[in-house]
Structure 1
Amino acid sequence: MDNIKVTDINIKIKSKEDIINYLKSTDRIDYNALINIFKANDKIILSRKEIIYLLKIINDKSNRRCPYCNSISISRHQKYTKYKDGVTKERFRCKECRKTFSDTTNTIFHNAKLPFEKIQMCVKEVTNENTIRTAAKNLDISVPTAFYMKHKILNNKIAADI
């Protein structure tokens, strides 16, 4: 899939509704598109519920696959997991490798202890090439947490320009 450049998104995205409409309407959609939206828009911060909804849109459009073996032979594994804030997450199971996964698997939101809002701000800090100490100070998180998040972002190869 083609990566969507930040400049392509700046023209279209002004609000949360624009993000949802953009991701629903485009055929060139992947996880990098969502991250590029985070980088391009300083004023738009999405909640956990909105991010999980957007990840679901992305996975549904790209014909959900197993993140471990890339098989398209998957099934729903269990009912929704419901969180305090009303967010529900669904788990899936690959019929070939038998591993389970959710929409957040292999993303920077997987097993995240930080609020999703801080993770979005962390993406902006990392892509601005700030040092880990500066990012930690700006986000009011510890230096080891900033280090972990920066490497999680870099390992997922979510920002092509880093």
Structure 2
Amino acid sequence: MERLEFGKLLLILPELNRFQLRALVKRVNGDLEKDDVNYVAEKRCDSLSACPHCDYKAFVRWGHSGEQQRFKCKQCHRTFNEFTATPFARLKHRGKRLARYAQCMMEGLSLRQSAERCDMNLATSFHWRHRFLRQPECHRASTLGGIVEADEAFFRESFKGKRNITHRQPRKHGRPGRDGANPLIPVLLLLDRYEREADFVLSTNSLDEITPCFSGRIKTDSVLCTDGSSLYPSIAEGEGLHHRPVPIGTPGRTKGGGAFHIQTLNNYISRLRSWLQRFRGVGTEYLSNYLGWWRIVTQRKLETSRAWLEEGMLT
């Protein structure tokens, strides 16, 4: 549109009634959301270097499906588009809702709030959320260095959303079972002073389960700070790390204790628990997804829906 025509359009706006303005805003927002999706799809299309099915590098353009460019591999002869092999493959109404749902993820809205904003079913909202949460798993730190803090956090076992629980009686309103048992799921967290983090959902906090989580992940010249648990000395020795235990009750544990402490990790866990409260319980089956979501919130700090889309498609 020419500049003069755009100026005329702006002059007409005061003449519109509120219903017309709302319709205009809805149309403009829809076009902006669609533009975000198209922008990310085009970047993904430009970055394609091999077939996502067989990794063969020779492929040709193969027509369109709707507004999407399709390609065909010269080796396996399968077709694909820019969404293939991404968390957003085979989703319907991507152009209308994907950017809007990315905004919901950025704001940390509940499933019901996201479903209402995006005009979708609650089950669809759940499905889309976990499509977005597939990618944060890839951002777990592979290498930690310097002063690395390690500790376990425990979360109550939850079968939220399950219609049938076979191995025990369901607890009413989150109360402990009749036998007084209150199963807790351990999560091992490793955090260095550069805010790089790795977390692992465990079945038990035993040496056999914790040891593989450390394997080659921490640089050998690093210092491992832990609480007084008896599990970590042997792990540190096996990994060639300097170990500085800080047991509960140690003088100066929180103040004046120097550089060797685990308060940075304790603060991280405290903020994580506060953030999880908005979801009123997280199913144990999806706990690792939510840990990845929190990792994205604290480390990547994505501030636009387009950035969330790029995170899911281009990384």
TM-score normalised by the chain length of structure 2: 0.31
Q: Structure 1 pair 68/113, CA: closer, same or farther in 2 (3 Å)?
A: same
8 Å Cα contact 2:37-2:94 kept in structure 1: no
Q: Distance in 2 between matches of 1:105 and 1:147?
A: 21
Q: Distance in 2 between matches of 1:101 and 1:53?
A: 18
Task: Give how far 1:106 is off.
Answer: 2.9
Q: Structure 1 pair 145/102, CA: closer, same or farther in 2 (3 Å)?
A: same
2:78 aligned with 1:70, yes or no? no
SS at the partner of 2:296?
coil
Task: Give how far 1:127 is off.
Answer: 2.8
Q: Deviations over 1:56-86 (max 9, x none)?
A: 34322x253212233212122x3233x4xxx
Which amino acid counterpart does residue 66 of structure 1 have in structure 2? C
8 Å Cα contact 2:60-2:73 kept in structure 1: yes
Instruction: Determine which of 1, 20, 37 is the counterpart of 1:51.
Output: 37
Aligned-residue CA RMSD in angstroms?
A: 3.2
Q: Structure 1 pair 137/104, CA: closer, same or farther in 2 (3 Å)?
A: same
Which amino acid counterpart does residue 56 of structure 1 have in structure 2? E
Q: Distance in 2 between matches of 1:118 and 1:144?
A: 15
Equivalent residue for 2:118? 139
8 Å Cα contact 1:75-1:93 kept in structure 2: yes
Q: Distance in 2 between matches of 1:129 and 1:135?
A: 9
8 Å Cα contact 2:88-2:131 kept in structure 1: no
Q: Structure 1 pair 68/142, CA: closer, same or farther in 2 (3 Å)?
A: same
Equivalent residue for 1:79? 63
Q: Structure 1 pair 98/156, CA: closer, same or farther in 2 (3 Å)?
A: farther
Runs of 4+ that moved beyond 6 A: none
Task: Give how far 1:135 is off.
Answer: 1.3
2:126 aligned with 1:151, yes or no? no
Q: Distance in 1 between matches of 2:68 and 2:31?
A: 23
8 Å Cα contact 1:52-1:103 kept in structure 2: no
Task: Give how far 1:99 is off.
Answer: 2.0
Q: Deviations over 1:89-110 (max 9, x none)?
A: 2221222333210122234553
Task: Give how far 1:54 is off.
Answer: 4.5
Q: Distance in 2 between matches of 1:91 and 1:115?
A: 16
Q: Structure 1 pair 148/74, CA: closer, same or farther in 2 (3 Å)?
A: same
Identity over the aligned pairs, expressed in percent?
22
TM-score normalised by the chain length of structure 1: 0.54
8 Å Cα contact 1:52-1:104 kept in structure 2: no
Which amino acid counterpart does residue 79 of structure 1 have in structure 2? G
> Which has more radius of gyration?
2
Alignment length, in residue pairs?
A: 113
Q: Structure 1 pair 115/54, CA: closer, same or farther in 2 (3 Å)?
A: closer
Unaligned regions of 5+ residues in structure 2, if any?
Answer: 1-28, 139-292, 298-315
8 Å Cα contact 1:80-1:89 kept in structure 2: yes
Instruction: Determine which of 69, 87, 95 is the counterpart of 1:116.
Output: 95
Q: Distance in 1 between matches of 2:44 and 2:56?
A: 17
Q: Structure 1 pair 101/154, CA: closer, same or farther in 2 (3 Å)?
A: same
